[in-house]
Structure 1
Amino acid sequence: MYDLSTRKRALALVAQGRSLNSVSRETGISRAAIRSWRERLEPRPRMAPPDHPGPPSDESAYAYLLGLYLGDGCISGSPRGAGYYLRIACANAWPGLIDACEIAMRAINPTGRASRTRAQGYVSVTSYSRHWPRIFPQHGPGAKHQRRITLEPWQQAIVDTHPWEFIRGLIHSDGCRITNWTTRIVGGQRKRYEYPRYFFTNLSADIIRLFTTALDQVGVEWKKANARNISVARKASVALMDAHVGPKY
């Protein structure tokens, strides 16, 4: 045990720019003890946390990630209370989607970091930042369909500039491209016809509205199959979706 004056003398030597090794040799006190005293008696000044970085510079990646977040994403606080985790669940069936999600998340996270956690049937792409609630101000308590979901003006400006990336993110989260079929009598014979169509399903009327508004902007015709499902089936509109979105992969 060392008295307070001994500790302060060792710390004074460190404050002069001396290395822990040299102070340890001169005083006979271990480096670990000196380091511990420095942290307790003279805490290192912490860097002030950076201000909110503002709207993301990579707007295309943000529009895509916003679509994914509104569909299959959630934000939760860290157990330590210092920041937040953004998690987006991606089905194992679509490895390309998982890659695209991680790339977009790294592009938007101010730290540039993201990781993957495997679960039964899906991969959770996860990224940690103290800024996620500001980057996605739709974050809040409860399920998204149980509260109002609207875009901030700066978000709407990004979606208006990159509507296809936003649509692609929503389809990749809560949508699909399928092949329907029907039969017709032609020349006395019943023939089978197949045709592709897109579906988007979400419990939130607000998110449905954001999706259909973006479709209107790019000239895609759509119909409500029911309150939770949007269908795109017209040939020209499906062709547009194929050119800019395409099936999951």
Structure 2
Amino acid sequence: MYDMDTRMRALDLLADGRSMNSVSQETGISRSTIRAWRSRVQPLPHLLNQATPCAGPADSASYAYLLGLYLGDGCISPHPRGGQYLRIACADAWPGLIDQCRTAITAVRPKDKVSVLQRQGCVAVTSYGRHWTCLFPQHGPGKKHERRIVLEGWQQEIVDVHPWEFLRGLIHSDGCRVTNWTVRNGKRYEYPRYFFTNKSDDIRKLCTDTLTKVGVRWTVLARGSDPFNVSVARKDCVALMDAHIGPKY
């Protein structure tokens, strides 16, 4: 049995034009196994919604983080001459987040260049490549909260292995760590809290399902009649989030 990273690396080498013999020699995987993996990959015109991407992420932990960023503040647009642009919007107030985003993109697709385009109040961390739509099959027309968002099986495998990286990406895109306060018996008490806010019911469920899997208790705070806010406020759960995620910087 081969893990996801091994399979993705072999498929990526094939996608870059390497022969099956050379990939077999470099990876130590038999040609029959590589041929079976390749047979499950749909041709280029049918990249969306496929079971296995045509060229998988070079680093699955970085991909889990980047997936969280993409679901929050990412988009993909076509290039007139083929290929696609991946863009992740990052606020100017978080230079550390911008650096982490660039690092994650480079780790996922080492051969694709990454640039930063300044916008009003934010930057778009941008990368051109041939495989962004198959790496993020959730891409589609319209806003994310107006269409179905479901992870492919291979994506869920990665999230299951790297749940905290995925949650970190979600929190770094559409979440925050704040300090709330209350008054009890005339004394002011302050306590930290995490929020994740997204209009998509599907994306919020991906967040809450993953929080539950790692043992974090959460609640939903409605904004009016809209349950857009996922809250983590229990002391032990906040401490767990601090250990694995921490505030943006």
Matched, 1:164 2:164: yes
**TM-score, with length taken from structure 2:** 0.76
User: Within 1, Cα distance between the matches of 2:146 and 2:54?
Assistant: 29
Please say if residues 219 and 230 of structure 2, whose CA atoms lie closer than 8 Å, have aligned partners that are also in contact.
yes
Is this contact kept in 1: 2:220–2:229, CA < 8 A? yes
Q: CA deviation at 1:130?
A: 1.5
- The amino acid across from 1:58 in the alignment is D
**Two-structure CA RMSD over aligned residues (Å):** 1.4
Q: Partner residue of 1:116?
A: 116
Match of 1:59 in 2: 60
Q: Name the counterpart of 1:135.
A: 135
For residues 161 and 197 of structure 2, what CA distance do their matches in structure 1 show?
24
Q: Report the equivalent of 1:76.
A: 77
**Residue 66 of structure 1 aligns to which amino acid in structure 2?**
L
Name the TM-score, length of structure 1 as normaliser: 0.76
| Cα pair distance change 1:183/1:124, threshold 3 Å | same
2 CA distance for matches of 1:114 and 1:75? Answer: 14
Aligned length: 197
Q: Which amino acid aligns with 2:67?
A: L
* 1:56 match: secondary structure: coil
Distance 1:123 1:225 in 2: 30
Runs of 4+ more than 6 Å apart: none
Aligned to 1:94: 94
Question: What is residue 190 of structure 2 aligned with on the other side?
Answer: 194
Contact kept, 8 Å, 1:53 with 1:110, in 2: the verdict is: no
* Aligned twin of 2:219: 223
- The CA distance in 1 between the partners of 2:213 and 2:56, in whole Å, is 22
Is residue 68–residue 167 contact of structure 2 (8 Å, CA) maintained in 1? yes
Distance of 2:61 and 2:71 partners within structure 1: 16
Shift of 1:113: 1.5
Rounded Cα–Cα distance in structure 2 between residues aligned with 1:63 and 1:144: 18
Q: Deviations over 1:5-37 (max 9, x none)?
A: xxxxxxxxxxxxxxxxxxxxxxxxxxxxxxxxx
Task: Return the offset for 1:119.
Answer: 1.1
SS of equivalent residue, structure 2 residue 138: coil
Question: What pairs with 1:141-156 in structure 2 (closer than 5 Å)?
Answer: 141-156=141-156
AA partner of residue 208 (structure 2)? T
Q: CA deviation at 1:148?
A: 0.2
Secondary structure (helix, strand or coil) at the match of 1:125 reads strand
* Fraction of identical pairs, as percent: 64
Deviations 1:71-124 (A, max 9, x none): 00000011x231100000000111000000000011112523211011111111
Q: Which residue of structure 2 aligns with residue 33 of structure 1?
A: none
Secondary structure, aligned partner of 1:219? coil
Structure 2 distance, partners of 1:54, 1:153, is 15
Distance 1:54 1:119 in 2: 30
Correspondence for 1:246:
246
Equivalent residues of 1:55, 1:154 under 8 A apart:
no
Cα distance in 2, alignment partners of residues 53 and 98 from structure 1: 27
- Would you say the 8 A contact 1:85–1:127 is kept in 2? yes
**5+ long unaligned stretches in structure 1:** 1-47
8 A Cα contact 2:58 2:110, kept in partner: no
Bigger radius of gyration: 1
Give the partner amino acid of 2:207.
F
Structure 1: which amino acid aligns with 2:59?
D
Residues in 2 aligned to 1:106 and 1:90: alpha-carbon distance in whole angstroms: 16
Q: Is the 8 A contact 2:112 2:129 kept in 1?
A: no
In structure 1, how many angstroms separate the alpha carbons of the residues matched to 2:177 and 2:197? 12
